[in-house]
């Protein structure tokens, strides 16, 4: 008997969230489509949680031009920060950055490619899609 692979869902922001403060009122602070880097919740089926504004989706491949915006470190991972053409924000694990640097041209901090989501431990990020790596 074969053990079936556990379904992995990815947490993205369902709708834009706006600042409510007096000096930034109306500005977007969380963009729709941004991938959360971590979540305590792990549903087994795709779902939209209106209370937390998180949509849990199956993995997908998507085209976008990403712009490097910085880097950071959490408790268990070091990541590069990117923003997409719609403002959505993504993290890329440093271990996946090597493939990016070897496979694509990065011009003025921007890179056009096909991307997919990935999970390392309890953290979520993006990486180049297999088609970009000749797999």
**pLDDT, mean of each 10-residue run, the chain (135 residues):** 78 90 81 92 90 94 98 89 97 95 95 97 95 83
Return the pLDDT at 118: 97
Return the pLDDT at 77: 87
Return the pLDDT at 53: 94
- Candidates 18, 20, 16, 19; CA nearest to 89 is 16
- What is the rounded radius of gyration, in angstroms, for the C-alpha atoms of the chain? 16
- Candidates 124, 110, 113; CA nearest to 37 is 124
Rounded to the nearest 5 percent, the helix, strand and coil shares of the chain are: 10, 45, 45
Residue 56 backbone zone (phi > 0: left; psi -120 to 50: alpha; other: beta): beta
Return the pLDDT at 17: 87
Return the pLDDT at 20: 82
For 11, half-sphere exposure in the C-beta direction (CA atoms, 13 angstrom radius) is 18
The rounded distance, in Å, linking the Cα atoms of 64 and 66 is: 6
The rounded distance, in Å, linking the Cα atoms of 111 and 9 is: 25
């Amino acid at each position: 008997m074969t053990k079936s692979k556990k379904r992995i869902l990815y947490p993205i922001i369902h709708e834009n969230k706006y600042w409510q403060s007096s000096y930034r009122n109306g500005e977007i602070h969380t963009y729709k489509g941004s991938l959360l880097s971590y979540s305590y919740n792990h549903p087994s089926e795709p779902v939209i949680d209106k209370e937390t504004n998180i949509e849990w989706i199956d993995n997908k491949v998507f085209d976008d031009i990403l712009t490097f915006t910085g880097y950071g470190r959490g408790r268990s991972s070091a990541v590069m920060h990117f923003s997409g053409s719609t403002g959505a924000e993504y993290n890329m694990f440093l271990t996946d950055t090597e493939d990016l640097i070897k496979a694509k041209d990065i011009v003025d901090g921007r890179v056009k490619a096909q991307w997919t989501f990935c999970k390392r431990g309890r953290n979520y990020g993006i990486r180049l899609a297999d088609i970009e790596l000749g797999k």
